[in-house]
Every structure is written in C-alpha cells, then in structure tokens.
Amino acid sequence: MANIADSTVTFFALDPAVLVAVRDQVRPAVPWSPAHVLSLEAAVPTGLDLDDWDHERAFAAWGTSRPEVDSELLEEHADRLVYRVGTAWSGPETVWATLSAQHPGLVVHSVSSDGSEFSSCGWYVAGRAVRWEEGEPDVQDDGDEEVRHPAEWAFSESVAREVLADSGPVS
C-alpha cells in the first residue's frame, strides 16, 4: 500500500469573502517552504506536537493520521481556490467536512488517491458529504504511473452550485 494520498481539493463559494476566510484559516503559521500554503493543523487545530503524536486523535480530527507532507495552491479564481495536498495514507476528508460546516456558503470538492488501493471523490457542504464515491485507482502504466480519475469526478461549477442550492439558505 502506498503511504501518501494525493488530493486535489477545490473550495468554491459565490461570496469571495468566504474564500478569503478559508485561505486565511488553512494557511500555516510557519510554512516550511514557499509552496506550503495549506496546513491541516491550521485548518482544524489539534494541538498535537510532532514529538508526542497521537495518530488516533489526528485521524478523528482530520481523516488522516499525520500532518500534510506537502501542499500547494494550484489555482485561484474569484469563486474558487484549488489546492493539491499530500497526506498520510488517506485524504483529509474530515477537514473538508469541518471547513464546509464552519463557512456557510462553502462547497468543498475533493478527489484523492493513494495510487494503489483507493480513489475517492467527495462533495461537502454544511458539514457533510452530500456526494461520495470511491473505487480502485486506475493507474496508467505509460511510464508516469499517473492515476486517472473518472471524468465525472472532475470539479464542475454547475454541480457546486447545485449542491450549494440543495443545502438550503446560507446563514
């Protein structure tokens, strides 16, 4: 089993102030590189210390048992932010649900895979997964070993608007 799950996460909101709040919340206090722009600890604080780590507590808070190994902002638009995040063994799905609960009007779309045993796609709004699908990764053996996800797993603004409208009024 691969030990790193790569996730592409899209934060979508019709109100740009929601995206500013999310970007500020997930920004690490002390990035270890210029590209390190999303921290699970900043997004959903656990208070855990790397010298005294509790995998079960981290998994309960984040959906993965260790902090991110890397992250980068791939795209920034008026209505969305797109990040790539590498985490231990699984995608940080609990973080995405928590952020969607904390920020009314936010839709979170995540596609994750460890490249060998799982792939998943989730849409989160108002603290819950409103759509969730998982399967085995389709790894193309053409030299790059890139995981190919089903086309319907791609971020779609129309789906984001639909799940946002279905979630009820934004408070």
Reading the block at residue 93, the tokens are 């799905």
10-residue stretch averages of pLDDT, the chain, 171 residues long: 84 98 96 92 89 85 91 97 94 96 98 86 96 81 70 94 86 53
Which burial class, exposed, middle or buried, applies to 96 when counting CB atoms under 10 A from its CB (0-12, 13-18, 19+)? buried
pLDDT digits (tens, 9 = 90+) for 7-18: 999 999 999 999
DSSP 127: T
CA-nearest of 123, 150, 151, 170 to 12 is 123
Q: How far is CA 137 from the centre of its chain?
A: 18
Specify the number of domains making up the chain. 1
Q: Which domain does 69 fall in, by range?
A: 4-167
